[in-house]
Structure 1
């Protein structure tokens, strides 16, 4: 029996789509990150029950941190993006968390800068608050050890390829780190939207992209670039097509980042069939119904899609590019 709903909701399902292809499907992945970080902060004495934790979020982390605070008797304040939907806002309110959303912005960079600036103002006025720094603090790696252990136990021995979105870096980076420490041969493939600075695509815009959680318009300091072996840059059209294909073929209703990761895993698998491929579905598709899934008739046949193989970042182009990392950094 679980002591709290957060402990139950956090557990992912490992779903086999083929003998060498699996989906690691979460209801909301960042609960692992938030629970692990809050627990470690309490154990170290950095915070105490009743303290206020504050952070920025585009939606998923807000719910995760609110649940973690509810679990451990903390107060929670979120500076949210305009992408935080009504369902999340209502849950935060009932859980006792407070949310303030920054004004609508022209682009993701301005949105993230406004949120970070607002947090600085809040901390100046409330020095007792603790900033969780989900984009910068390696403490958010801690919670994923349990997931890595489960993957190691549930999948056959042998080489793995882990494919997933790179936002703060804590999820894919942490899973690869813990699996490698356990002795696994792991190839780590990161998925990015165009326009993200993390892997150098800020010069290629994608005005339709709404996957704020896997890209960054400002530097995220807890992304460990040396952990990644390959990167895929995927635009909205391809991510939508991948997500629709995933739902149609497997019944898995997941977010746009899962659609992009699914495409990446299928492509990598075509080139190397010696590994078991695991791609991450970080959240469900519910918040993307109107913005993406309602346009499912526009989805492309994914068998007709293939990425541009590039050798330098100045070759990046729509709708989908891929390259080894860090060869493209030169």
Structure 2
């Protein structure tokens, strides 16, 4: 029996979709990392019940951190992206978390930079607050150890390919790290939106992009580029098709990044049918009901989509590109300098 709802929410479901394709489905994925990170900080004496932690978030992490703070009796302050919707705002308020939401902005880099700048202002005024630094502190890797153990128990250790959004670097990076301790042949395919600096995709813009949570316009310290074997850049229209197909074919109602991961995983499975391909569905589809699922009639057939194979990020093109990364170093603009 769980002691707190966050434990139930953070526990993923492993679903066999057939044909060697598996889905690791979360209600809210980052609850796993937030719970483990907060628990570690309390055990280390870095924070104590009654203290306040703060961080920046585009949505999922805000809810995860609010739940972790509720579980452990901490104050929670979030500097939120423009993408935080009304449903999440209300939940944060009732949970006792305070939210400062940035004004609408179409420039992802400006939005993220403004949030970091605002956090620094808050810390100067409240030096006792603890900045969680989800983008840079490796403590956020810890919670995924138990998830990797689940995958190893249920899916085995042979010929495994993991597919999922890169985002802050903690989720797929940590899962691959822990999986490779028992399954060293695990292949990691990261999913990025166009416009993200992390793997050099910032030269191509996608005007409809609303999946900022899996990419970044600023360098993230938690992204270990050496872990990634393959990178898929997927635009909004292709991700929409993946999300709709995931619901239509498999009855899985998941977010837009999950649709992108499904599309990439399906392709990797077709290319290597002898491997088990596991993709991460990071959240449910509720916040995309209007922007994605209400447009299901517009979705193209996934079988009509295929990626443009490139050898350099300079060759990227919409709506979908794929590159063998092979553990290459971070692009110059994605190198984290220790600040932010």
TM bucket, shorter chain: over 0.9
Separation (CA, whole Å) in 2 of partners of 1:128 and 1:209? 36
Q: Tell me what 2:117 maps to.
A: 117
Q: Tell me what 2:2 maps to.
A: 2
Q: Tell me what 2:320 maps to.
A: 320
Cα offset, 1:294, TM superposition: 1.2
Q: Tell me what 1:179 maps to.
A: 179
Taking structure 1 as reference, are residues 328 and 305 closer, same or farther at Cα in structure 2, changes over 3 Å only? farther
Q: Tell me what 1:29 maps to.
A: 29
Question: Are 1:244 and 2:244 matched, yes or no?
Answer: yes
Question: Are 1:92 and 2:61 matched, yes or no?
Answer: no
Contact kept in structure 1, 2:255 and 2:288, CA below 8 Å: yes
Quick check: 103-112 or 34-43, which moved more?
103-112
Q: Tell me what 2:284 maps to.
A: 284
Q: Tell me what 2:337 maps to.
A: none
1:135-174 pair list within 5 angstroms: 135-174=135-174
Contact kept in structure 2, 1:312 and 1:327, CA below 8 Å: no
Separation (CA, whole Å) in 1 of partners of 2:202 and 2:168? 16
Cα offset, 1:82, TM superposition: 1.4
RMSD of aligned residue pairs (Cα, Å): 1.2
Contact kept in structure 2, 1:242 and 1:260, CA below 8 Å: yes
Question: Are 1:198 and 2:198 matched, yes or no?
Answer: yes
Q: SS of the counterpart of 1:49? A: coil
Taking structure 1 as reference, are residues 96 and 267 closer, same or farther at Cα in structure 2, changes over 3 Å only? same
Q: Deviations over 1:133-168 (max 9, x none)?
A: 001111100000010000000113411000000100
Quick check: 290-299 or 119-128, which moved more?
290-299
Q: Tell me what 2:17 maps to.
A: 17
Q: SS of the counterpart of 1:243? A: helix
Separation (CA, whole Å) in 2 of partners of 1:140 and 1:8? 19
Q: What TM-score, normalized to structure 1?
A: 0.98
Taking structure 1 as reference, are residues 108 and 73 closer, same or farther at Cα in structure 2, changes over 3 Å only? same
Separation (CA, whole Å) in 1 of partners of 2:261 and 2:284? 14
Contact kept in structure 2, 1:312 and 1:328, CA below 8 Å: no
Cα offset, 1:275, TM superposition: 1.3
1:205-220 pair list within 5 angstroms: 205-220=205-220
Q: Deviations over 1:83-139 (max 9, x none)?
A: 111111111111110001011113111111111110000001000000000011111
5+ residue gaps, structure 2, are 332-340
Q: Tell me what 1:307 maps to.
A: 307
Cα offset, 1:57, TM superposition: 0.5
Q: What TM-score, normalized to structure 2?
A: 0.95
Separation (CA, whole Å) in 2 of partners of 1:113 and 1:272? 40
Separation (CA, whole Å) in 2 of partners of 1:215 and 1:87? 23
Q: Tell me what 2:103 maps to.
A: 103
- Which 4+ residue blocks in structure 1 deviate beyond 6 angstroms? 327-330
Contact kept in structure 1, 2:225 and 2:328, CA below 8 Å: no
Separation (CA, whole Å) in 1 of partners of 2:184 and 2:36? 23
Q: Deviations over 1:235-287 (max 9, x none)?
A: 00000000000000000000011111111111111111221000010000000
Separation (CA, whole Å) in 2 of partners of 1:49 and 1:159? 44
Cα offset, 1:58, TM superposition: 0.7
Q: Tell me what 2:229 maps to.
A: 229
